[in-house]
Amino acid sequence: MKILSLIFLGLSLQIVQAPTMLAQQSAITKLSFEQIGSVASIPKRIAFISDIGGASSLYVVDPEHSDIDLLGKLHVEGVRVPAHDLVFSPDKKQVIFLSTKLGSGAALWISSTDGSNARKLIDWKWLIYGPFQASWSPTGDRFAFVIRKENSSAVYTMNVDGSGFHFVATGDRFSWSPDGHQIALTTYIPEKQGRYLEVVDIEGTNLRLISSAGRASECVWSPDGKQIAFMESRRETTVEPKYDVSVVRPSGQEKQTVIENVPLYSHLSWSPDSRFLSFVSNFEGSRGLYTWATHDASGKRFRFLSGVEAPFAWSPDSKRVAYGENIIRVVDITTEKTRILFHTSGFGGPLWLPDGNRVLMYNTLSTRRIDSDDVNLYVTRIEPQYISRLTAENLQVWDISSPPNGKVIAFTASAKGNNAASSRVYVINSDGSNERELAVPSIEPGWFAWSADGNKIAFVKEMLNCKKCRPGNLKIEVANADGSDEHTIVNQPAWNFAPAWLPDGKSVVFLSDRNNAHGVYLTDIKSKHTQLLADVSGSIPNHVRIERTDKFVPLVWSPDATKLATSSAVPRPGLIQVIDVKKPATFTFSGIAPWVLNWTPDSSRIAVADLVHGIAMNSITPTFVDLLAFDGSNRLRLMAPSTLSGALFRMAWSIDGKRFACSGITIFNADGSNQRFVVKGWNPVWVR
């Protein structure tokens, strides 16, 4: 097994697992939908590996119903839109943002959330310090914002149509009253040498002092209008600033301290029903969400939910909190159970839509780019309906494979925390039932193949204790899909490799270096009669390992098994060769460092990835994907240059050849159009 393991780690043979159509040297049987099953049972879902739930697990998704929908793109030509400074209306249908434009300064913009109707409200002529502080009125007809000048800050309001711009009061933090008629604000008063909490009518009249402690730094009005919560900094100096959190009546009466001397890592936030005041702090070394109940008959006013981070947002029914950047989670306030929204890894800034069933967010991976000129806004369902996890949390999945009919999925997995070397092979039904271990060494391409109906497997094992065997000699076994009735069909001492089934399930085609020559052979699984179909020694090196360069030759069969694509260091780097076994004939394509991904289902074209340039850089060199006719007569750019990972990037064509899935997981039409992100993951295969 040591020799077998070394071969497994070294060989990078990427033999496509689609069923081989060779019946004889000159006879080709086409794979039809009838051989796969009825049209209704043709694989339409995608199985993939992802770490969206923690460890790398096996998932299945219906790509027609992604749980992530693009709501809109905020884009204004020549204007930079800052993702972290978007301020949404109460119904989440409009958004304001402070943008910058090269050479013309900043401006205040308003737009529909789907990206339409973007218009500039005013030019921003004032100096900008710190983040954009703004908030819509509860009625949604106007908004207030802070303007920071050289030595002061003040709150202003404006109607949504750009009219009614006026000064309200001096201050740098504020919160609307629920009826939209007043604003609570914190401000520095020079003559009193301190920061104070005040309330003022929205017209700027009737300004009155609410808290006189002189240390107020932030405030938020409760949705029922009965209390104002605010933060006060501590007098003593500490390495990490500490605060007291209090509540008070809008009249200034009945001040009550909620918690003292804690660090705060978020803004104060009320639940929509005004039952809970919440903020992120720490407790006994653990960071999380404090919730303080305004009324609790049990006497348990405080609860601490460990692991909750900012930013966070309450659901409209006040029963759940969505939180996080990059990975968004939802915690149930009653049960304290937390789960990841599977489809949201790579997204952030969660805000609940009014229906309480969806969350609005943006893509954090793209918007954190300094040169980003637009922001994509997405909507995700709280209850995933189309993504299913098939494997347990204690298993870490490394690779997957599925037969053309998509009935079952084979996968390699190891206990969580272990490496791939300790993995075993399992098989599971595509609905997640009947998981069982499969006694095969590997499901890597070239080592393992499914029959077209998914009922049988062919696989490679090392030849041991046999006469005339050389180190690394391999035999070919066949068995039922569950591993039963295993028996050897090819055991002549040689490097017998890359098995693939004919559609009728009666014969297996494979490669062998017997008689000191590389050849394509065909074996009947019952009689074990073997015949040579083609000598390909002139196109393939004498052995798959090239001693001079210590590189390995990848081999990719076309679905009809009449053509073999290779990308290697032989005869020289940067070449892809396509060998037509029937003729025989060889076609060559050049590139920087191209590698073969797979063939289209009709065996007429190959998908090839290549580097944009050959210059070594600190970051990953961008790559692109082209679709090539095997004879070089046609070339189509499928995917524009992107930072694809050579180790994780895979493609999988649908049986009808009309579209493909690739690592992402992203769906494309066959010509590369209509790109649609589905879920974060890799190694896609089509299943029922």
Distances in whole angstroms, Cα of residue 422 to Cα of each of 165, 395, 415: 67, 12, 8
313 vs 352: CA distance, rounded Å: 7
Q: What is the pLDDT of residue 266?
A: 93
Strand-pairing partners, residue 407, are none
307 vs 229: CA distance, rounded Å: 23
Percentage of the chain exceeding pLDDT 90: 36
Q: What is the pLDDT of residue 132?
A: 80
558 band by pLDDT with thresholds 50, 70 and 90: confident
- Among 87-96, 120-129, 205-214, 450-459, the minimum mean pLDDT is found in 120-129
145 band by pLDDT with thresholds 50, 70 and 90: very high
What letters, b where the CB count within 10 A reaches 16 and e where it falls short, cover 301-329? eebebeebbbbbbbbbebebbbbbbebbb
Distances in whole angstroms, Cα of residue 147 to Cα of each of 42, 126, 332, 439, 687: 60, 7, 38, 69, 56
Strand-pairing partners, residue 155, are 146, 169
Q: Looking at the predicted structure, is the pLDDT value of residue 365 above 60?
A: no
Q: What is the pLDDT of residue 544?
A: 47
205, with CB counted inside 10 A (0-12, 13-18, 19+), is: exposed
351, with CB counted inside 10 A (0-12, 13-18, 19+), is: middle
The label of the residue with tokens 């074209």 reads: 605
Angle, alpha carbons 104-110-113 (nearest 5°): 130
Q: Which residue has the higher pLDDT, 598 or 251?
A: 251
* H or E element, residue 687: strand 676-687
Query: What tokens were used for 561?
Result: 């098994």
In the DSSP assignment, the letter for residue 2 is: H
126 band by pLDDT with thresholds 50, 70 and 90: low
503 band by pLDDT with thresholds 50, 70 and 90: confident
What's CA 629's distance to the chain center, in Å?
Answer: 31
* One-letter amino acid of 664: G
Q: Which of 649, 646, 575 is nearest to 567 (CA)?
A: 575
Q: What would the mean pLDDT of 73-83 be, rounded to a whole number?
A: 82
376 vs 34: CA distance, rounded Å: 43
In the DSSP assignment, the letter for residue 215 is: B
pTM of the model: 0.69
Q: What would the mean pLDDT of 519-523 be, rounded to a whole number?
A: 89
pLDDT digits (tens, 9 = 90+) for 221-232: 999 999 999 999
pLDDT digits (tens, 9 = 90+) for 415-470: 877 777 788 999 999 888 999 999 898 888 778 988 888 889 999 998 887 776 77
DSSP letters of 562-590?
A: SEEEEEESSSSTTEEEEEETTTTEEEEEE
393 band by pLDDT with thresholds 50, 70 and 90: confident
Query: What tokens were used for 172?
Result: 């740098």
**Helices (H) and strands (E) in the chain — how many of each?**
3, 59
Backbone torsions φ then ψ of 622, nearest 5 degrees: -60, 150
Q: Which of 308, 339, 337, 338 is nearest to 325 (CA)?
A: 308
3-state secondary structure 4-58: HHHHHHHCCCCCCCCCCCECCCCCECCCCHHHHCCHHHCCCEEEEEECCCCCCEE
- The CA-based dihedral angle spanning residues 45, 51, 53, 56, taken in that order and rounded to the nearest 10 degrees: 90
What letters, b where the CB count within 10 A reaches 16 and e where it falls short, cover 483-512? beeeeebbbeebbbbbbbbbbebebbbbbb
Q: Which of 512, 508, 510 is nearest to 495 (CA)?
A: 512
Q: What is the pLDDT of residue 456?
A: 92
* One-letter amino acid of 512: S
Backbone torsions φ then ψ of 515, nearest 5 degrees: 60, 30
